[in-house]
Amino acid sequence: MSSRPELKLDWCSHEAAKYAVEHWHYSKSLPLGGLVKVGAWENGKFIGCIIFAQGNNQHQGAAHDLTMFEVCELCRVALSEHITHVTRIVALALKFLKRRCEKTRLVISYADPEHGHHGGIYQGGNWIFIGTGGSTEAFYDAGGNRIHTRTAAPNGSKKQFGRNTSRHRGMVARRVSLLPKWKYLMPLDSETRQRILPLAKPYPKRATSETLDTPANHAGKGGSLPTVALHSK
Domain ranges of the chain: 1-136+179-233, 137-177
Burial grade of 226 (CB within 10 A; 0-12, 13-18, 19 or more): middle
**Distance between CA atoms of 122 and 126, rounded to whole angstroms?**
6
Hey, what amino acid is at 147? Answer: I
Of 65-74, 128-137, 138-147, 170-179, the range with the highest mean pLDDT is: 65-74
In terms of Cα–Cα distance, which of 45, 17, 64 is closest to 183?
Answer: 64
Q: pTM of the prediction?
A: 0.73
On whether the 1-136+179-233 domain is CATH 3.40.50.300, my answer is no
Per-residue pLDDT tens digits for 115-169: 677 788 999 999 999 998 765 555 555 555 555 555 555 444 443 334 545 544 4
Question: With bands split at pLDDT 50, 70 and 90, how would you rate the model's confidence at 27?
Answer: confident
Hey, what amino acid is at 58? Answer: Q
Ramachandran assignment for 144, one of left (phi > 0), alpha (psi -120 to 50 degrees), beta (any other): left
